[in-house]
Structure 1
Amino acid sequence: MSDNALRNDNALREMVTDFCASSGVPGVVVGVYHAGEQEVIAQGLTNVVTGAPMRPETGFLFGSVTKMMTSTLIMRQVERGRIDLDERVCTYLPDFRLATPGAEEIRIRHLLSHTNGIDADLYMPDVNGPDSLRVAVAGMAEQVGTLFAPGEYISYSNGGMIVAGRVLEAVTGRPYHQLLEEDLFAPAGMGDSCTSAERAILRSTAIGHFPDPAGSRRTELFKLPDSWGPAGSSAIGSVGDLLAFGRTHLDSGIAPSGTRLLSAESVARMQTVTYSMGTPHIPPIGLGWLLMPFGDITVLSHSGASPGGVAVLVAVPGHDLVFAAYGNDARAMGLFDRILLSLLRDCLGITVPDLITGQIEVADLTPYTGTYRSNQMRVDVRAVDGALEEAATYEPADDTQRRVFTAFAGGSIPTMTRRFTPVGRHLFAPAGLPLDMFTGYSRQLLVSYHDIRDGKAHFRSAGGRMTRRLEH
C-alpha cells in the first residue's frame, strides 16, 4: 500500500492509455485527489469529427452526478430555514399533482433519497428555458403516476429530482440553472462549470459517442432538455471541478476555495443511511449520495449518463480520496470500475471481497415470471432452462418523448432480450458475464425481485429502478 494513491501514477496512466487504445472509446479524462495531491489524466479525443484532443481541463456533461448538486442546494436551503426535509412537497408547490393518488404524501426527504415512488424515469418533456421546470412538473399531473407509496422502496428517481429543482425555484424565486451557478458553482470554486451549451462551446468540451461498426459515431444530441436540469441534463464542467465538489463533502462542507458550502451537520446527514433495501446491487442511500459498501468501508458515489457519455464521482470518507472521471462513450464505465477497485485495493490497501461468489439453483422460477412496467418501459419475464429471459420494450408516451429518448440512446430502441441466472435470494446476474465484475459499479447490472407474495413477485429492480408487475 502506498501512503499516497498518486505516488505511482504511472500505473493509472497506463491503464487509461491501454483502455483507449483497445476499447474503441474515443476519449476519457480521469482525476484523482488523495491526501493533498491531485492528478488529472486525459487521453484520446473529445470529438471524432473534429479530432480535438481530450485535455485535463476539458469540460463535459456531469449527467446524473448533478443530482448530488441538487441535493446540496436543497440542504443549503434547509440550513437557511426555507425548506424542511420532513415537510410535504405540496407545502412548497401547492399545485403539485400526479396522475395517480400519492403526491400529497411525498416529503422533501423522499425526493433526495429516491424513495418517492414517482414513476417518471423516462419522462422527458422537450422544454427549455427558465420556465422549463414549471412546465415539466405541471405535466406530471397528466403523464406521471406512482410506483409505490413514499418511503416503501428505493427506485432511482429522475422525476423526484426534477420536482426538487422546482421546489428550489419556488423557495428562492430564482431559476434552477441560475441557482446552480450562483449558489454552488461560484462558492465551491468550480470555475470551469456552467449550465449553458453556448458557454461551454467557447472552451474545450467533450461530445458523446456511440459504438459503431466503423469505430465510433458522434451523438446528434449534445444534451437533454432543460426540463431535466436538476436530474442531470445541463451542468457542464471539468474533472477538476468534480474533484473540488467531492472534496467539499469530505471536508465537512468546506470547499477547497475556503468557502463553507454546507455545515458539518448537513454533510453528515447526507452521508447517513436513510433507507436500505438489503439487496447487494441496490446501495443504501443517504440524502443524494449512494452509499456503496466495499468490504468494511462505505464509498460515497454517483454516476451520470449523458447522450453518448458517462461520468462518475466517488469520495472515500476517512481516506481523503476523491475519484472523478468522464468517458465520451458509455463503455468507459468498465475502465472506471477497474480504476475504482485498484484505488481501493492497491492504493488504500482495503480488502474488497467479490460481491457475488457463485450461481445457485432455483427449483421454481415462476414467482418471477410475468410482465412488469414503469413509465414507458415494459419488461416481459419468462423462465427458460433454469434461467430468466427478459425482454425490455420501450413504449413512448408520445412522439416528442420518443424523439428525445431515442436521440439520447443513440438511435432506434429495439426490444432488448437478455438471460439472467440466479446468484442469490431473489437475485439474478446477466448470463455469460464473469461474476467478479459485479463487485464494482457493474453490480447495477444485477436484477432483483421484491414483495414476494401470493406465489409471485410484485416488483422487479434493475439499475436501481423499480418496475411493477402488471395484474391481469
Structure 2
Amino acid sequence: MDVDLPARLARLAREHRVPGAQLAVHHEGETVTAETGEETYAAGEPVTRRSAFPLGSLTKPFTATLVMTLAACGDIDLDAPLAEYVPEVGAGRGGPGPRMTARRLLSHTSGLASNLDEGGDHSGARRRWVARHCRESGTAHPPGTVFSYSNIGYILAGHLVEVVTGMSWWEAMEAVLLKPLDIAPAFVVGPPSGFRPVVDGHTVRQPGDRMLPVTWQTLPKVAAPSAGLALGAADLVTFALMHLAHPALQPVLDRDSAREMRRDQLAGVTAGPFGMADSWGLGWAVYHDAGPDWFGHDGTGEGTSCHLRFEPAGGTVVALTANAATGPALWEDLLAELRSVGPAVGGRGLSAPPDPALRTSGPPECVGRYVNGEMELTVVADGAGGLRLTTGEAERFELTCFEGLRFTMRETSGGRTTYTGRFLRDPETGGIDLIQVTGRLARRARDENDAPGGEG
C-alpha cells in the first residue's frame, strides 16, 4: 500500500485523544503494521507490536473458532440440543419446542439474556454459574426466533468447550488455537500466561478532554470466554488469515468449517442485528457492502476499543487496537480514509445515521419499560416531542427518531459516540413490543410487577 500508515495512525490518535494504538493491514499479499503512543498515558512506556490490548467482545470469534474445531472433529453436533453436552441448561419451557444449540449460541439466536448482572455474584465455578443463569426455561426470547446479542451465550459456549475438552477455557484457547498460530496469549482475567504486557484503557473526560487511565478491567472471571483475551493488531490479522487458509499458517480450522462460520445463519429469524451488522454467521458479523461481503467483529473493554475486518475474495484484513473509549470514532475515521486511498473496507460503524430527511417526532407509544434478563431500558417523553432512554445503570441518552421506528441515541452527558437502534411491532397485535440497541433485543414489560426476562 502506497500509504504512510504510521503517520496516519498517529494523526488520528491525536485527533481522537487515544494515548496508544496499533494498526495492521494485510493487502495484496503484504502485511504492514504501525504503532503509536503509550501503553499508559504519560507513563513513558511505548506501544509496541507485542503490546496486548484487552479485546472485549472481539474474544468471541476466538471462542467460536474453538467450538468449531471441536465440531469439525465430531466432538460436537452444532444442531444437537445443548443439554446433551451441558445437562445444567435443562429443558426448554413448555416441553418440546425450539432448543438451545451450539449453532444458536454462536449466532446469538439462543434466546439467552444479553448481559451479566453487574451487581450479581459471578464468583465460583463456571459450571455452577451456568446452572444458575443459562437454563432454557429462563430465556429472554424463544431459541431460534430472533437475533439478540448475548454475552451470556458465549460464556455458555466457553463452558461447552471445557466440558468437551476437559481443559479450562484458557488452556484450550492457548493449546488448540493460539500456540499453533504462534500467538503469545495474554488474558484480562484468569491465570497469568507468559510476560506479555496488557495495556491500560483510558477514559476521556470533559472539561479539557482529560485522559484518565483505567488500571483495572472489571470483567468477571466467569465471563472470560466472551471478553477475556488481550492481543495485538498483528495477532488479529494472523487469526483472520488462518480463517482464510493462508498457506504460511497452520490450518487450525479446516476450510469448510471456516466457510460455515462466514455463512449467514439468520434465515427465518424475525429480527436481525440492526445497528451492528447486516447479518451474522457463527462468531462473525457479516457486512453486505457494494462489493464482496466483509466479515469481522468489534470489542470494547474498560477504556479500550478493538476492531477486525476481512474480505475473503481479495484476502484483505484490517485490524485496529486502541486504548481509549474514543477508539470507535478513530476506527470510523480510519475506515473512511482507507476507503479513499486503498482497500474499500466493508462494515459500517455503530453510529452510521439514517437519512436526516427521514427524521420524525418520537412516537408516544414507544414510551415504556423494556427488559432483557437483567438489562432494563426505560423510554420516556422529554416534554418537547422527543424521547429519552435510561438504562438500569442510570445512563441517559437522547433519542433522535426517524421513520420506520428507527432512532439514534447519544449520551446526554456529552458522549461522542452515537448509536443506532429501533423499535419493533408485535406482528400479531401491531403494538410496539420490542426495542433493539447495539443488537440487544429487549421486550416491553407489561406492568411494574413483571420480572425481567421470560419468553413473553
Q: Which residue of 1 aligns with 2:236?
A: 242
Distance in structure 1 (CA, Å) of the matches to 2:94 and 2:214: 38
- Structure 1 residue 285 corresponds to structure 2 residue 280: yes
Distance in structure 1 (CA, Å) of the matches to 2:411 and 2:168: 47
Distance in structure 2 (CA, Å) of the matches to 1:195 and 1:431: 29
Q: Which residue of 2 aligns with 1:64?
A: 57
Alignment CA distance shift 1:432-1:162 (3 Å)? closer
- Structure 1 residue 187 corresponds to structure 2 residue 180: yes
Q: Which residue of 2 aligns with 1:165?
A: 158
Q: Which residue of 2 aligns with 1:410?
A: none
Q: Which residue of 1 aligns with 2:454?
A: none
Q: TM-score normalised to the size of structure 1?
A: 0.82
Q: Which residue of 1 aligns with 2:301?
A: 306
Per-residue deviation, 1:189:
2.4
Choose from 216, 227, 240 the match for 2:222.
227
**Is the CA contact (8 Å cut-off) linking 2:274 and 2:421 kept in structure 1?**
no
Per-residue deviation, 1:299:
1.6
**Is the CA contact (8 Å cut-off) linking 1:96 and 1:141 kept in structure 2?**
yes
Deviations 1:440-471 (A, max 9, x none): xx78x101112335353111110111111100
Deviations 1:194-225 (A, max 9, x none): 67777468344311122235722221413523
Q: How does 1:27-426 map to 2 (within 5 A)?
A: 27-48=20-41, 50-97=43-90, 105-123=99-117, 132-140=125-133, 145-191=138-184, 193=186, 199=192, 202-213=195-206, 215-222=210-217, 224-233=219-228, 235-251=229-245, 254=246, 256-257=248-249, 259-275=250-266, 277=271, 280-283=274-277, 284-348=279-343, 356-362=354-360, 365-384=363-382, 385-394=384-393, 415-426=394-405
Distance in structure 2 (CA, Å) of the matches to 1:368 and 1:425: 12
Deviations 1:224-276 (A, max 9, x none): 2321111012x22222211100111123xx5743x111121111111111116
Per-residue deviation, 1:123:
3.6
Q: Secondary structure at the match of 2:200?
A: coil
Residue 330 of structure 1 aligns with an amino acid whose one-letter code is A
Distance in structure 1 (CA, Å) of the matches to 2:347 and 2:131: 45
Alignment CA distance shift 1:249-1:380 (3 Å)? same
Deviations 1:148-184 (A, max 9, x none): 1011111111110111111111111111110000000
Deviating more after overlay: 33-42 vs 450-459? 450-459
Residue 448 of structure 1 aligns with an amino acid whose one-letter code is R
Deviations 1:270-310 (A, max 9, x none): 11111163575242001110102233432211111112211
**Is the CA contact (8 Å cut-off) linking 2:303 and 2:324 kept in structure 1?**
yes
**Is the CA contact (8 Å cut-off) linking 2:273 and 2:439 kept in structure 1?**
no
Q: Secondary structure at the match of 1:167?
A: helix
Residue 375 of structure 1 aligns with an amino acid whose one-letter code is G
Deviating more after overlay: 59-68 vs 48-57? 48-57
Q: Secondary structure at the match of 1:31?
A: strand
Per-residue deviation, 1:361:
4.9
Distance in structure 2 (CA, Å) of the matches to 1:219 and 1:201: 22
Alignment CA distance shift 1:451-1:216 (3 Å)? same
- Structure 1 residue 452 corresponds to structure 2 residue 426: yes
Distance in structure 2 (CA, Å) of the matches to 1:95 and 1:430: 38
Distance in structure 1 (CA, Å) of the matches to 2:16 and 2:404: 34
Alignment CA distance shift 1:455-1:80 (3 Å)? closer
Distance in structure 2 (CA, Å) of the matches to 1:108 and 1:146: 15
**Is the CA contact (8 Å cut-off) linking 1:372 and 1:469 kept in structure 2?**
yes
Distance in structure 1 (CA, Å) of the matches to 2:273 and 2:6: 34
Per-residue deviation, 1:378:
2.1
**Is the CA contact (8 Å cut-off) linking 1:31 and 1:40 kept in structure 2?**
yes
Q: Secondary structure at the match of 1:326?
A: strand
Per-residue deviation, 1:135:
3.0
Per-residue deviation, 1:346:
3.1
- Structure 1 residue 466 corresponds to structure 2 residue 445: no
Distance in structure 2 (CA, Å) of the matches to 1:117 and 1:287: 15
Deviating more after overlay: 381-390 vs 65-74? 381-390
Distance in structure 2 (CA, Å) of the matches to 1:167 and 1:426: 38
Distance in structure 2 (CA, Å) of the matches to 1:177 and 1:115: 25
Segments of 5+ residues of structure 2 without an aligned counterpart are: 448-456
Alignment CA distance shift 1:119-1:293 (3 Å)? same
**Is the CA contact (8 Å cut-off) linking 2:108 and 2:148 kept in structure 1?**
yes
Per-residue deviation, 1:127:
5.3
Alignment CA distance shift 1:205-1:417 (3 Å)? closer
Q: Secondary structure at the match of 1:53?
A: coil
Q: TM-score normalised to the size of structure 2?
A: 0.85
Q: Secondary structure at the match of 2:358?
A: coil
Q: Secondary structure at the match of 2:15?
A: helix
Percent identity over paired residues:
24
Cα RMSD for the two superposed structures: 3.1
Residue 323 of structure 1 aligns with an amino acid whose one-letter code is V
Alignment CA distance shift 1:342-1:154 (3 Å)? same
Per-residue deviation, 1:144:
9.6
Alignment CA distance shift 1:38-1:221 (3 Å)? same
Residue 51 of structure 2 aligns with an amino acid whose one-letter code is T
Q: Secondary structure at the match of 2:328?
A: helix
Per-residue deviation, 1:111:
0.2
**Is the CA contact (8 Å cut-off) linking 1:377 and 1:392 kept in structure 2?**
yes
Distance in structure 2 (CA, Å) of the matches to 1:432 and 1:416: 7
Distance in structure 1 (CA, Å) of the matches to 2:395 and 2:218: 24
Q: Secondary structure at the match of 2:341?
A: helix
Per-residue deviation, 1:345:
4.5
Distance in structure 1 (CA, Å) of the matches to 2:191 and 2:89: 32
Residue 246 of structure 1 aligns with an amino acid whose one-letter code is A
Q: Secondary structure at the match of 1:425?
A: helix
Alignment CA distance shift 1:89-1:451 (3 Å)? farther
Q: Secondary structure at the match of 2:181?
A: coil
